Amino acid sequence: MASQIDVRSTIDRGIPVLTIRYGAGEMFRPESAKELTTQMVKGYEDRLKEEPENRSCIAVIESETAGSPLDRALFELYKRVVSEKQQLLCVNYPADYIHSLTSLGLPNLKGFGLKSSKEAAIKELLSEERRAETA
Protein backbone atom coordinates (compact mmCIF):
# COMPACT_ATOMS: atom_id res chain seq x y z
CA MET A 1 0.00 0.00 0.00
CA ALA A 2 1.39 3.39 -0.99
CA SER A 3 1.73 6.04 1.67
CA GLN A 4 -1.10 8.54 1.95
CA ILE A 5 0.85 10.95 4.15
CA ASP A 6 1.04 14.59 3.11
CA VAL A 7 2.75 17.18 5.30
CA ARG A 8 2.97 20.73 3.99
CA SER A 9 4.91 23.44 5.73
CA THR A 10 4.27 27.17 5.39
CA ILE A 11 4.86 30.39 7.28
CA ASP A 12 1.88 32.36 8.60
CA ARG A 13 2.66 35.71 10.22
CA GLY A 14 6.18 34.53 10.91
CA ILE A 15 5.14 31.22 12.48
CA PRO A 16 5.97 27.80 11.00
CA VAL A 17 2.72 25.93 10.26
CA LEU A 18 2.55 22.25 9.34
CA THR A 19 -0.62 21.00 7.65
CA ILE A 20 -0.89 17.25 8.09
CA ARG A 21 -3.14 14.97 6.04
CA TYR A 22 -3.22 11.19 5.87
CA GLY A 23 -5.62 8.40 5.03
CA ALA A 24 -7.28 6.50 7.87
CA GLY A 25 -5.26 3.40 7.00
CA GLU A 26 -2.03 5.20 7.88
CA MET A 27 -2.80 4.75 11.57
CA PHE A 28 -2.44 0.98 11.05
CA ARG A 29 0.78 0.91 9.03
CA PRO A 30 3.92 0.27 11.11
CA GLU A 31 5.96 2.66 8.92
CA SER A 32 3.58 5.60 9.36
CA ALA A 33 5.07 6.90 12.62
CA LYS A 34 8.52 7.18 11.08
CA GLU A 35 7.21 8.73 7.85
CA LEU A 36 5.07 11.27 9.71
CA THR A 37 7.93 12.13 12.06
CA THR A 38 10.41 12.59 9.24
CA GLN A 39 8.09 14.80 7.20
CA MET A 40 6.93 16.87 10.18
CA VAL A 41 10.39 17.53 11.61
CA LYS A 42 11.81 18.28 8.15
CA GLY A 43 8.95 20.68 7.42
CA TYR A 44 9.58 22.50 10.70
CA GLU A 45 13.33 22.70 10.14
CA ASP A 46 12.86 23.91 6.54
CA ARG A 47 10.66 26.78 7.76
CA LEU A 48 13.20 27.70 10.46
CA LYS A 49 15.67 28.45 7.67
CA GLU A 50 13.20 31.02 6.33
CA GLU A 51 12.00 32.43 9.67
CA PRO A 52 14.71 31.92 12.29
CA GLU A 53 13.15 34.47 14.65
CA ASN A 54 10.06 32.49 15.62
CA ARG A 55 10.80 28.89 16.53
CA SER A 56 7.36 27.92 17.84
CA CYS A 57 5.25 25.72 15.58
CA ILE A 58 1.62 25.00 14.77
CA ALA A 59 0.59 21.53 13.59
CA VAL A 60 -2.82 21.49 11.88
CA ILE A 61 -4.38 18.04 11.58
CA GLU A 62 -6.70 17.72 8.57
CA SER A 63 -7.69 14.08 8.99
CA GLU A 64 -10.63 12.45 10.73
CA THR A 65 -8.67 9.78 12.61
CA ALA A 66 -5.63 9.63 14.84
CA GLY A 67 -3.60 7.02 16.63
CA SER A 68 -0.20 6.10 17.91
CA PRO A 69 1.70 6.92 14.65
CA LEU A 70 0.44 10.51 14.79
CA ASP A 71 0.95 10.72 18.56
CA ARG A 72 4.55 9.50 18.27
CA ALA A 73 5.24 11.94 15.44
CA LEU A 74 3.76 14.82 17.44
CA PHE A 75 5.92 13.85 20.42
CA GLU A 76 9.09 13.82 18.28
CA LEU A 77 8.16 17.19 16.79
CA TYR A 78 7.42 18.48 20.30
CA LYS A 79 10.91 17.44 21.47
CA ARG A 80 12.45 19.29 18.52
CA VAL A 81 10.40 22.46 19.10
CA VAL A 82 11.01 22.61 22.86
CA SER A 83 14.73 22.10 22.26
CA GLU A 84 14.44 25.65 20.88
CA LYS A 85 12.66 26.66 24.13
CA GLN A 86 9.45 27.25 22.18
CA GLN A 87 5.90 25.87 21.92
CA LEU A 88 4.09 23.36 19.73
CA LEU A 89 0.38 24.00 19.34
CA CYS A 90 -1.73 21.26 17.76
CA VAL A 91 -4.92 22.29 15.94
CA ASN A 92 -7.87 20.05 15.07
CA TYR A 93 -6.65 16.89 16.77
CA PRO A 94 -9.60 14.53 16.12
CA ALA A 95 -11.82 14.72 19.21
CA ASP A 96 -12.85 11.07 19.04
CA TYR A 97 -9.19 10.06 19.48
CA ILE A 98 -8.10 12.55 22.14
CA HIS A 99 -7.82 9.76 24.73
CA SER A 100 -4.92 8.38 22.70
CA LEU A 101 -3.03 11.65 23.06
CA THR A 102 -3.93 12.29 26.70
CA SER A 103 -2.95 8.76 27.78
CA LEU A 104 0.59 9.64 26.71
CA GLY A 105 0.45 12.84 28.76
CA LEU A 106 1.44 15.05 25.85
CA PRO A 107 -1.18 17.77 26.53
CA ASN A 108 0.21 18.11 30.07
CA LEU A 109 3.76 18.83 28.94
CA LYS A 110 5.09 22.37 29.17
CA GLY A 111 5.28 23.84 25.70
CA PHE A 112 2.50 21.71 24.16
CA GLY A 113 -1.05 22.87 23.64
CA LEU A 114 -4.26 21.93 21.87
CA LYS A 115 -6.21 24.59 20.00
CA SER A 116 -9.50 24.53 18.12
CA SER A 117 -8.34 26.75 15.25
CA LYS A 118 -5.19 27.90 13.51
CA GLU A 119 -6.19 31.49 14.15
CA ALA A 120 -6.42 30.86 17.93
CA ALA A 121 -2.99 29.21 17.86
CA ILE A 122 -1.43 32.11 15.94
CA LYS A 123 -3.01 34.62 18.30
CA GLU A 124 -1.60 32.80 21.34
CA LEU A 125 1.90 32.53 19.91
CA LEU A 126 1.98 36.17 18.82
CA SER A 127 0.80 37.32 22.25
CA GLU A 128 3.47 35.14 23.90
CA GLU A 129 6.05 36.70 21.61
CA ARG A 130 4.93 40.21 22.59
CA ARG A 131 5.08 39.32 26.30
CA ALA A 132 8.62 38.00 25.89
CA GLU A 133 9.67 41.21 24.14
CA THR A 134 8.37 43.39 26.98
CA ALA A 135 9.78 41.23 29.78
What CATH number corresponds to the domain at position 112?
3.30.750.24
CA distances from 42 to 10, 16, 36, 45 (A): 12, 12, 10, 5
Whether 103 is covered by a domain: the verdict is: yes
Domains held by the chain: number: 1
Task: Look at residue 1 and tell me whether its pLDDT is greater than 60.
Answer: no
Check residue 15 and give its pLDDT.
95
Domain for residue 69, yes or no? yes
- Whether 128 maps to a domain, the answer reads yes
HSE, side-chain direction, 13 A CA sphere, residue 16 = 28
User: Residue 30 has what pLDDT?
Assistant: 86
Q: Residues 73, 49, 88, 111: is their CA dihedral positive or negative?
A: positive
Is the confidence at residue 106, as pLDDT, over 80? Answer: yes
Q: Which of 107, 80, 79, 111 is nearest to 93 (CA)?
A: 107
pLDDT digits (tens, 9 = 90+) for 81-103: 999 899 999 999 999 999 989 98
For the chain, what is the mean pLDDT?
Answer: 92
Structural domain includes residue 115: yes
Q: Is residue 1 part of a domain?
A: no
Q: What is the pLDDT of residue 54?
A: 81
What confidence score (pLDDT) does residue 51 get? 82
d(CA 83, CA 103): 23
Domain hosting 74: range is 6-134
pLDDT band at residue 56 under the 50/70/90 scheme: very high
Q: Please answer whether residues 48 and 83 qualify as being in contact, where contact means their C-beta atoms are separated by less than 8 angstroms.
A: no
